[in-house]
Amino acid sequence: MSRSNPNNDIKPALVAEAQRLGFDDVRIAKASVHDDVSKNFDAFIVGEYYGDMAWMAEKADRRRTPQALWPEVRSVISVAVNYGSAVDPLALLDQPDRGAISVYARGRDYHDILKKRLKNLARWLVERSDEADVKVFVDTAPVLEKPLAESAGLGWQGKHTNLVSRKFGSWLFLGEVFTTLDLSPDEPEQDHCGSCTKCLDICPTNAFLDARRLDARRCISYLTIEHKGHIPVELRSLMGNRIYGCDDCLAICPWNKFAEVAAATVLNPRIELEAPQLADLVQLDDAAFRTLFSGSPIKRIGRDRFVRNVLIAIGNSGVSDLDRFVEPLCDDESPLVRAMAIWALSRISLARAVNRREIDMGQESDLDVRCEWAAF
């Protein structure tokens, strides 16, 4: 006769406490991942599809399984917070003079919000069990959080590699509490993508090698957020007006018909970031950038990379009147900004760019910037 697990007596109260703290869903997974998950991750690393995100390769051994990160872990409490928007993110792509910011980044930094809630949940658990030791994670440690969320039953990893929920669609923030308690796991979620390939087909840069296989080096979210250098010229025109992240593959998912608008007011988008004018954003200096994006995840990429993104959007806009904001940036202190200002100016006001080229190119010391002058 098998003995019941006394730790499971705490599970209903744990779920109730997580919901009280503001988590929209909470499930339990074993502290392990399927062998196929590790193999797919290894293939991603071997192919160097991570681009500038070298930390993924450097910490690969710790990422393959929860025990590699913390040998004592027995269970993973996987939580989710809905950040669904009332506005279709794809609608903004038809406004070329506006910048499209990923839905998740239009409000406060979710890392701060979820980390505080997770710490409170972990503290609650420790106070109720002498046996519990805990660690909390929110997208900042080597954790394969989407496969763990799938194992816990929060959703399944769609063909776009992100988690899909039958209740919340593609709009979920994830977090984890690792614990030494042996809790009864929930049933894993099944794959409900079927034959649908809408998320793969809509990708502007063809970043998907196949279903659930992403080349991050072509992904607009990677290019606008993680990539520190000059964006390859062949990808710039494909970025449209996306200046921070990209929601195309998430927004097109048919399961979003069941999605709900986020209830938590703390995650509400800031009005000034819902459809910002490119003309306003491109004029930001470092101080103004820091002020505007205080408390936002956008702040971490810095002014120069952000303005680089805005300049690419301006270059794609076809709005020639924006040239008066672009031209001064051909003299910006940042080579990253200067290079994209030249590219943008050549796209919306070629005559103006040609007039400046001979003098400016002769004075330019940065090779990448000189290449931009020589490219048209």
List residues with catalytic annotation: 139
Question: In sequence order, what are the beta bridge partners of 208?
Answer: 214
Which class for 365: exposed (0-12), middle (13-18), buried (19 or more C-beta within 10 A)? Answer: exposed
Judge contact between 356 and 349, C-beta under 8 A: no
Question: In sequence order, what are the beta bridge partners of 244?
Answer: 101
Question: In sequence order, what are the beta bridge partners of 81?
Answer: 173
Q: CB-based contacts of 74: which residues, under 8 Å, 6+ apart?
A: 31, 179, 180, 181, 182, 183
320-325: long-range contacts (C-beta < 8 A, 24 or more apart)? 320/348, 320/349, 322/97, 322/278, 322/279, 322/282, 322/348, 323/348, 323/349, 323/352, 325/279, 325/282, 325/283
12: amino acid identity, one letter: P
Closest CA to 274 of 111, 90, 109, 99: 99
94: amino acid identity, one letter: D
70: amino acid identity, one letter: W
- Tell me the two tokens of residue 98: 């506006």
Q: How far is CA 86 from CA 59, 196, 263, 266, 290, in A?
A: 38, 24, 11, 15, 27
H helix runs in the chain, sequence order: 11-20, 35-46, 54-58, 60-63, 66-69, 110-128, 145-152, 198-201, 220-221, 233-236, 248-251, 278-281, 286-292, 302-317, 323-326, 335-348, 350-363, 367-374
- Tell me the two tokens of residue 68: 């590699």
